Chains A and B, each alone.
Chain A
């Protein structure tokens, strides 16, 4: 499948940060949040959250919708689906699942 290298670079770069992954997790829990709502759950400055959201939006992982005076942020899973198709679906899924089940079981037993 042809891919725009630029887009793919932006996507993986956006995912390569703990704070940005935390923002995606927050939106996954509850979609359509304002900047203020997201800041409440983030241990960083408002400016930091704004910058992370801009990186996520540039990578198309976050979509924004204006509703009146508010800007709502939504998790856009379409690029993640593309990663899935490009990097995961083609590998042997059952073996990967067995491995991740094993990892989960062992890590649970440890903790």
Chain B
């Protein structure tokens, strides 16, 4: 079946344990995810949601696989825009691999349909979020405060 996929890779000078914690700790997440955070037990089968600073549920689903500090797979369905929600669930796989003094972080986000609007929408967000995450882990501060600077 045709599918839409995006792959994002960044190398972050940190340890897999610290990176895993940065990806799963809600308070830390708000620093680099423009005020948003995820809520989950982070075990296979537990529910997962991405919540805005105002408490709105942006995306929801469940953890399909959790292997700390190596791999996280999330079934991910958008919630706020009807046309994106109608596309159904996507799958987001997060892989962490040690690479020298850094960790290679790979995000693979895909959905079983061609020209997905959801994948198009998240594609604008992931590079900004990952770039901020790298910056906050390596230097202690984010590069971008606002996802859409004027």
Chain A: number of interface residues, binned into ranges: 20 to 34
Docked pose: A86 CA to B144 CA in angstroms: 10
Chain B contact residues (Cβ within 8 angstroms of A): what range?
A: 20 to 34
Complex Cα spacing A65 to B8, Å: 11
**Cβ of B128 < 8 Å from any Cβ of A?**
yes
Which of these, A4, A63, A93, contacts B7 with CB under 8 Å? A63
Find residues 45-94 in chain A having any chain B CB closer than 8 Å to their own CB: 60, 63, 65, 74, 76-78, 80-82, 85-86, 89, 93
For B106, give its contact among A63, A81, A93 (CB under 8 Å). Answer: A63
User: How many angstroms between the C-alpha atoms of A82 and B130 in the bound complex?
Assistant: 10
- CB of B40 within 8 A of chain A? no
| Residues 91-128 of B contacting A (Cβ, < 8 Å) | 106, 108, 123, 126-128
Contact, CB under 8 Å: B8 / A85: no
* B-side contacts of A32, CB under 8 Å: 5
A72 to chain B, nearest CB (A): 8
A25 on interface, CB distance cutoff 8 Å: no
Judge whether B8 and A78 touch: CB under 8 Å: yes
- A-facing residues in B1-57 (Cβ within 8 Å): 5-11, 13
7 A–B contacts, CB within 8 A, in A order: A7-B11, A63-B9, A63-B106, A76-B9, A82-B131, A85-B144, A89-B149
Which residues of A are interface residues toward B (Cβ below 8 A)?
1-2, 4, 7, 31-32, 60, 63, 65, 74, 76-78, 80-82, 85-86, 89, 93
Give the 8 A-B residue pairs with the shortest CB-CB distance, closest first. A81-B127, A74-B7, A85-B143, A63-B9, A63-B7, A81-B131, A78-B10, A77-B127
